[in-house]
Amino acid sequence: MPETYPEIITLRDGQWHNLASFYPAASDGRSWVENKGDVPVFVAYSSDGAPPAAGGYPLEPGQRLSGQAPFIWAQAPRGDALLGIGLQEAGATTLTEGSAHIGSVGGHTIRSSATFSRAADTTAYAAGDIVANAAAAGAVVPMTFNIGRGSYGLGGMVRRARLRKTGTNIANATFRLHLYANAPVPSNGDNGAWLTSGAASYVGSIDITCDKAFTDGAAGNGVPTVGGEINYTADIYYGVLEARGAYAPANGETFTVTLETLQN
100 within domain boundaries: no
Alpha helices in the chain (DSSP H): none
Cα 173–chain centre separation? 27
Mean pLDDT of 36-62: 70
Render pLDDT for 68-123 as a digit per residue (tens, 0 to 9). 444 467 777 766 777 766 655 444 444 444 333 334 444 567 788 899 999 899 99
Residue closest to 62 by CA, chosen among 108, 119, 22:
108
CA dist 261 and 239 (Å) reads: 15
Q: Are residues 122 and 220 in the same domain?
A: yes
pLDDT at position 190 is 97
CA dist 59 and 251 (Å) reads: 45
253 within domain boundaries: yes
Please give the tally of structural domains in the chain. Answer: 2
101 within domain boundaries: no
pLDDT at position 34 is 75
* 227 band by pLDDT with thresholds 50, 70 and 90: confident
**Greatest mean pLDDT among 79-88, 186-195, 228-237:** 186-195
Q: Domain range holding 119?
A: 108-263
The whole-model pTM stands at 0.63
Q: Are residues 117 and 32 in the same domain?
A: no
Cα 251–chain centre separation? 31
State yes or no: pLDDT of 248 exceeds 60: yes
Of 74, 95, 116, the residue at which a domain comes to its end is 95
Residue closest to 205 by CA, chosen among 183, 174, 230:
230
* 33 band by pLDDT with thresholds 50, 70 and 90: confident
67 within domain boundaries: yes
Q: Are residues 138 and 199 in the same domain?
A: yes
* CATH code of the domain in which 152 resides: 2.60.120
Q: Are residues 220 and 158 in the same domain?
A: yes
Q: Are residues 35 and 159 in the same domain?
A: no
Q: Are residues 183 and 248 in the same domain?
A: yes
